Amino acid sequence: ARQGAFAYCSQQYRVVFGAGTSARLGEESERLGIKRALVLTTPEQQDLGRRLGAGLGDRLAGLFAGARMHTPVEGTNEALGIVESRDIDGLVAIGGGSTGGLGKALALRTGLPHIAMPTTYAGSEMTPILGETANGIKTTQHSQDLVPDTVIYDVDLTVSLPPHISAASGLNAIAHAVEALYAPDANPLTSLMAEEGIAALARALPRIMTAPADAGARRDALYGAWLCGACLGAVGMSLHHKLCHVLGGMFNLPHAETHAIVLPHAATYNAAAAPEAMIRIARALRATDAPQGLFDLTRRLALPRRLAEIGMPEDGIARAAEMAVRSPYANPRPVERVAIQDLIAAAWRGDAPA
């Protein structure tokens, strides 16, 4: 493409943002014409689902607290049974990416109106993407029908997210924005969102570590997560997301921590090939160097720094590199097996960026 040319496609969704906004669930459901809502949560967030579901009054028709990581199809089918037997006409997913995945899987199959109320910083609510698992195999679907009609970002719901999980989840969000800045289909609008999203999270996360209930910090973090999620939903992801997908799948590593550990190394790999992106990332982090700034942030947040400490075996490094170079995503720097193996080894050991 000619220098400076771009295409941008906006998505159709309504966002309601701010502390206490979950009190508006009833009116937002009414807006979508929902009369018999099914509330979705994980088992851990069942009480939250019951409390917020009460705000639906007569519009509450059921609670399914069986959302699970990686959206297993068995769980989706169980929830579908409830949708049919209770005559459900709308979906309310309250939780992180796992619950969001179930909401999307049901919306895809039923076409019902769909509200998401995120409680982590993963950003699934902003994307037309769904990862599902059947018989241990993960498949990914893309459809604009997966984006919720309404997203209620109630800052109060995030206060209970423990600081170390907030930090990892926040780095997961920052990773979306970092890769959006050097995406093949990057455009001025997503780049604005990306830089602002990184800045808001980088400002908020250290404060959350020392004062988890700080309202301003929680607000900034969720605002940043929204912007970063919007980046993930709008442009293609590159090497970093591919690596996390491969590592998570091969060794069953925790999703958000894997992102936090790999990100400074993926940025190091791409730095020379994406100088403009690095300038914006560094500016957002108030750092002189982007990879070093990302690494310093993970250190400040006391996040794990070595893939070794979250369960990756050393003999997996070569196997993972092999997988990662197979059908690679578009990336600013060519994806080469030896260099990728070095990257993974550095992340396994927890080296500082070179």
Q: Does 297 bind ligand NAD (CB under 6 A)?
A: no
Touching ligand NAD, residues 203-262 (CB under 6 A): 232, 255-256
- In the bound state with ligand NAD, the residue whose beta carbon lies nearer, of 77 and 252, is 252
Retrieve residue 66's tokens. 């069986």
Retrieve residue 269's tokens. 């790999």
- In the bound state with ligand NAD, the residue whose beta carbon lies nearer, of 29 and 169, is 169
| Contact by Cβ (8 Å): 112, 87 | no
Q: Which amino acid is at 2?
A: R
Buried-state track 131-168, b at ≥16 Cβ within 10 A, e below 16: bbbeeeeeeeeeeeebbbbbbbbbbbbbbebebbbbbb
Question: CB 100: neighbour CB atoms within 10 A?
Answer: 32
Question: CB 23: neighbour CB atoms within 10 A?
Answer: 12
Measure the CA–CA gap between 30 and 27, rounded to whole angstroms.
5
- Nearest-approach distance from CB 212 to ligand NAD, in angstroms: 10
Q: Does 45 bind ligand NAD (CB under 6 A)?
A: yes
Task: Return phi, psi of residue 43, to 5°.
Answer: -55, -35
Task: Return phi, psi of residue 302, to 5°.
Answer: 55, 35
- Nearest-approach distance from CB 85 to ligand NAD, in angstroms: 25
Return the residue of 21, 124, 190, 268 that touches ligand NAD, per CB under 6 A: 124
Judged by CB under 6 A, which stretch of 20-28, 40-48, 188-196, 300-308 contacts ligand NAD?
40-48
Q: Does 178 bind ligand NAD (CB under 6 A)?
A: no
Return the residue of 21, 98, 238, 298 that touches ligand NAD, per CB under 6 A: 98
Q: Does 170 bind ligand NAD (CB under 6 A)?
A: no
Please state, in angstroms and as integers, the Cα–Cα distance from residue 343 to each residue in 41, 62, 300, 313, following that order.
37, 47, 22, 15
Measure the CA–CA gap between 307 and 258, rounded to whole angstroms.
7
Q: Does 22 bind ligand NAD (CB under 6 A)?
A: no
- In the bound state with ligand NAD, the residue whose beta carbon lies nearer, of 222 and 285, is 222
- Nearest-approach distance from CB 19 to ligand NAD, in angstroms: 14
User: What is the DSSP secondary structure assignment for residue 72, as one 8-state letter?
Assistant: B
Q: Does 169 bind ligand NAD (CB under 6 A)?
A: yes
Q: Does 88 bind ligand NAD (CB under 6 A)?
A: no
Q: Does 161 bind ligand NAD (CB under 6 A)?
A: yes
Among candidates 38, 42, 49, 51, which has minimal Cα distance to 69? 42
Q: Does 147 bind ligand NAD (CB under 6 A)?
A: no
Q: Does 66 bind ligand NAD (CB under 6 A)?
A: no
Q: Number of residues interacting with ligand NAD: please give it, by CB under 6 A.
A: 28
Measure the CA–CA gap between 102 and 85, rounded to whole angstroms.
18
- In the bound state with ligand NAD, the residue whose beta carbon lies nearer, of 155 and 344, is 155
Retrieve residue 285's tokens. 């982090």
Task: Return phi, psi of residue 221, to 5°.
Answer: -65, -45
- In the bound state with ligand NAD, the residue whose beta carbon lies nearer, of 255 and 280, is 255
- Nearest-approach distance from CB 127 to ligand NAD, in angstroms: 3
Residue number closest to ligand NAD, CB atom: 97
- Nearest-approach distance from CB 150 to ligand NAD, in angstroms: 17
Q: Residue 62 burial by CB count (10 A; 0-12/13-18/19+): exposed, middle or buried?
A: middle
Judged by CB under 6 A, which stretch of 126-134, 280-288, 289-297, 318-326 contacts ligand NAD?
126-134
From the DSSP assignment, how many helices (H) and strands (E) are in the chain? 13, 8
Chain residues in the site for ligand NAD (CB under 6 A): 42, 44-45, 69-70, 95-99, 101, 119-120, 122-124, 127, 129-131, 157-158, 160-161, 169, 232, 255-256
